[in-house]
Structure 1
Amino acid sequence: MAQPAPEVASGSLSGEPTKRRSFWREWPVLVVLAFLVALLIKTFVLQAFYIPSESMEPTLAEGDRVLVEKLSYRFGEPERGDVVVFARELGAPRTDEDEGVLARIGDAVRELFGFPTGGEQDFIKRVVGTGGDVVQGRGGRVLVNGHRMAEPYLADGTELGDFGPVEIPPGAVFVMGDNRTHSDDSRNYGPIEGSQIVGKGLLLIWPPGAVSGL
């Protein structure tokens, strides 16, 4: 009696190249999707920022990177002592209008990981007064509504020239750098609007040995 011919497995070998081709076709799509998700997070939730100057020393040094969250001020208001990132001019362009698409994508990738870009217009300072407050500098200290403000984040011997008084409009904040003698801040350009604020400083993430909350 003739024995039935053994079945030959099909697809185990011939399907491998197809799977590999499918993977390489899907790979660019996955990369684009991952980039879009990261871009959404950067735009609406979290973003790393590069510290370009010494204006926030000793809290933040030039070259540090901080993680900024963008949700707090969607549901609440800035408070005294908050470290905030803001656009100096409302609606200021982040990149040169003449840049091509690839250059803008490159800028977006660098900004995502906290690397500086040529078109950056953002600043980082500390809130010392909010809407309705009267802020002034007297005798080397900041006075808010006539009371000396406690500022444990300042370096010993920090000097401060007299300024003000400045009454802060509703919805605005008065910001200053922790390095008072090397900071361009609200003493020069006045209070900033809440709509200019990008987010609240959350965490110092670079250098690795200095990771800490703000």
Structure 2
Amino acid sequence: MPPLSPPDPQSQPSRSEALAPIESQIEGKSDPNGSSKTGQPDPGSSSWWRQHRENIITILLAVVMTIGIRTFVAEARWIPSNSMLPTLEVGDRLIVEKISYHFRDPRRGDIIVFDPPERLNFEGAYIKRVVGLPGDRIRIADGTVTINDVVIEEAYIFEPPDYSCPGTCPGISSQESDFVVPENQYFVLGDNRNDSQDSHYWGFLEKDNIIGHTILRFWPFNRLHYFGAQTYDDIPS
């Protein structure tokens, strides 16, 4: 199960997926199609293939389906950092769904998993919350985020941001009091605003970098949670 976001950019598998060996029971007698008297089949005989064909095909199909599901449908990830506190804690295991964004655009409030911009030179995946959509005018000041002249309520953050954008954000440059999210790009932030390498630090995220969005925390069991859509009804488009 690959980790998400720094500081520990090391991929780790979610579990062992070794296939149990398939044991065949063969009568200890001669076989006119090629079995020896000891009961061991001759690998070169057609009877050996007939005997094991179904098991081999089943194993191959299982492998192909597993790879296909992980690549195109969903996969499990784990959290190695505090950048999404209090929503996600270190060690949380998540299901990341990959299909929806082929049919719709990311929404404000989605918790997305993505490949970081190439300029960061980081091998791994990040997880952040979508705050700004293409075309949004955003300003971060005095501990609040303003989008299209509306201050948004963010009950999910760990603490208010202690930076200003534009202003003290290294990733955002603007001569105005606010900035506009470019077409096909997104402004993403960690819920732990003051301890997260995100768009305020490295700029906008290209849509093509997005892998999928988080739909479920399945571990630990006592914090099992389904992540539904956030609503920001007061923000004009």
Sort the TM-score into its range (normalised by shorter chain).
0.7 to 0.9
2:51 and 2:111 map into 1 onto residues whose CA distance is 45
3-state SS in 2 of match to 1:209: helix
1:144 and 1:210 map into 2 onto residues whose CA distance is 31
Match of 1:158 in 2: 160
1:192 and 1:133 map into 2 onto residues whose CA distance is 14
Match of 1:122 in 2: 125
State the TM-score, normalizing by the size of structure 2. 0.66
- Pick the structure with more helix per residue: 1
State the TM-score, normalizing by the size of structure 1. 0.73
Whether the 8 Å CA contact 1:131–1:172 is kept in 2: the answer is: yes
- Alignment CA distance shift 1:127-1:24 (3 Å): same
Deviation at 1:49, TM superposition (A): 1.1
2:113 and 2:152 map into 1 onto residues whose CA distance is 21
Give unpaired runs (5+ residues) of structure 1. Answer: 1-12, 94-118
Match of 1:202 in 2: 215
Q: Which has the higher contact order (CA 8 A, sep 6+)?
A: 1
Deviation at 1:151, TM superposition (A): 1.2
Backbone CA RMSD of aligned residues? 2.9
3-state SS in 1 of match to 2:162: coil
Letter of the structure 1 residue corresponding to residue 219 of structure 2: W
Letter of the structure 1 residue corresponding to residue 217 of structure 2: L
Letter of the structure 2 residue corresponding to residue 126 of structure 1: R
Letter of the structure 2 residue corresponding to residue 37 of structure 1: M
Whether the 8 Å CA contact 1:45–1:71 is kept in 2: the answer is: yes
- Alignment CA distance shift 1:25-1:197 (3 Å): same
Whether the 8 Å CA contact 2:144–2:160 is kept in 1: the answer is: no
CA offsets, 1:30-52, max 9 Å, x none?
A: 33321210110111111111112
Query: Any residues of structure 2 matched to 1:63-78 within 5 Å, and which?
Result: 63-78=91-106
- Alignment CA distance shift 1:59-1:20 (3 Å): farther
1:61 correspondence with 2:89: yes
Match of 2:110 in 1: 82
Match of 1:137 in 2: 140
Whether the 8 Å CA contact 1:137–1:160 is kept in 2: the answer is: no
CA offsets, 1:147-202, max 9 Å, x none?
A: 111212123x4343211232111111100000011100000111111110000111
How many percent of aligned residue pairs carry the same amino acid? 36
Moved over 2 A (4+): 17-33, 157-160
Match of 2:44 in 1: none
Deviation at 1:28, TM superposition (A): 4.7
1:23 and 1:45 map into 2 onto residues whose CA distance is 34
1:32 correspondence with 2:60: yes
Match of 2:231 in 1: none
Q: How many pairs were matched up?
A: 177
Give 1:49's match in structure 2, choosing from 53, 74, 77.
77
Whether the 8 Å CA contact 1:141–1:160 is kept in 2: the answer is: no
- Pick the structure with more strand per residue: 1
